[in-house]
Structure 1
C-alpha cells in the first residue's frame, strides 16, 4: 500500500518536481553544414588572396629598392674610379646614409628571413651590396669608428644622452645612434 499512491505523492511533493523534456534542437541539415563550410572556405580563400597581393606588392617594392640601390652604387663607383688618388670626401660622406640604410635593410631582411625563407636571398643580396660599399670605404682608407664600450672622446663622439650604469666605467659609450667614420685620423662623420 505504501507504493500504491506514489504518483499522487510525487505530484504533491515539490522535491519530486517532474522535469519537462528539453526542447528538441533541430539538427542541421547536411546542406546547411555544407553552405557554412563553403562560406568559411570562401572567406579563407579571400584572405589568402589579400595576403598574397600584400606579399607581392612588398616583394616588388623591395626588389625595386634593391635595384635602385645597386644602380646608385654602380654610378657612384664609376664616378669614384674616374677620380684621381685623392678620396672625394664630399661624395664619400654622401655614401654614409646609404650605408646606414643598407644596415637597417639587412636587419629587416634577416627578421623577415627568420619567418619566411623566401627572404633569405634578398637579405644576402643586400649584404653583398653593403659589403661592396665597405670595400669601397676600405679602398679609400675610410673606416668605421668603434664606439660602443669605448671611453667617450669629445674629438670623436657626440653625446646625445647620458645613461648611468653600474656595469661600465664612467664616460663609457653604451649605445650608438649612427656609425662614425674616419679618414686616417680625420673625422668624416661623428
Structure 2
C-alpha cells in the first residue's frame, strides 16, 4: 500500500470516528433533553400535588371550623330553648313567693328551691334585665302601658310587669314594662 492510500484510510477513519463522536454527542444531547423534559414533567406533577394538598388542607380546616361552629350553635339553641321553657316556672315561683308568709317553713323551702333553680340558670348564662327607673330601650323592653307621671322624665320605666332575661348577651325575653308618657 502506498502512502496515499494509507493517508486516505487514516482520513476516512478519522472522519468515521468524528462522525461517530458527533452521533454520540447528538445521542447524549437527546438523552439530556429527554431527561430535562422528564424532570420538568415531574416538577409540574409535584407542584400540582402540592397545590392539591394545600387546597385539601384548607378545605379540612374550613370543615373543622364549620363543624365546631355548628356544634356551638346547636348547644346555644338547645340552651336557649330550655331557658325559655323554664322562664314561666320562675315566674310562677316568684308569684307563689310573693303571696306566702315569709316566716313559714314552707315559704323557706320553696325559696330554697327557687334560689337553686335560679343559681343553675345563672351559671348557664341567664341574666335578669334590670330596668326599673331606667330609660326605656326597645331592644330590652316591651312597653305594655304608658302612664303620666309628673315627677319622672318621659320614657322612664315605672314598673316591671314581667321580668326580662338575657342569655349570654342575647335577649331571650324582653321585660314587659309600664313607661312614663
TM normalised by structure 2 equals 0.52
Of 84, 90, 96, 1:99 maps to: 90
Structure 1: tracts of 5 or more residues without a match: 1-83
Q: Aligned-pair distance for 1:98?
A: 0.4
Q: Which whole-Å deviations, capped at 9, do the CAs of 1:144-177 have from their partners, x for residues lacking one?
A: 1112111100111111110111221110010111
TM normalised by structure 1 equals 0.49
Matched residue SS, 2:127: strand
2:146 aligns with: 162
User: For 1:137 and 1:168, how far apart are their aligned partners in 2?
Assistant: 34
Moved more, 85-94 or 138-147: 85-94
User: For 1:132 and 1:98, how far apart are their aligned partners in 2?
Assistant: 13
Considering fraction of residues, name the structure with more strand. 2
Structure 2: tracts of 5 or more residues without a match: 1-73, 175-181
Counterpart mapping for 1:112-151 below 5 A: 113=102, 120-151=104-135
Q: Aligned-pair distance for 1:178?
A: 0.6
User: For 1:108 and 1:161, how far apart are their aligned partners in 2?
Assistant: 24
Does structure 1 residue 109 correspond to structure 2 residue 100?
yes
Matched pairs, number:
100
Alpha carbon RMSD of aligned pairs, Å?
A: 1.7
Q: Aligned-pair distance for 1:134?
A: 1.0
Q: Aligned-pair distance for 1:85?
A: 6.5
Q: Aligned-pair distance for 1:136?
A: 1.3
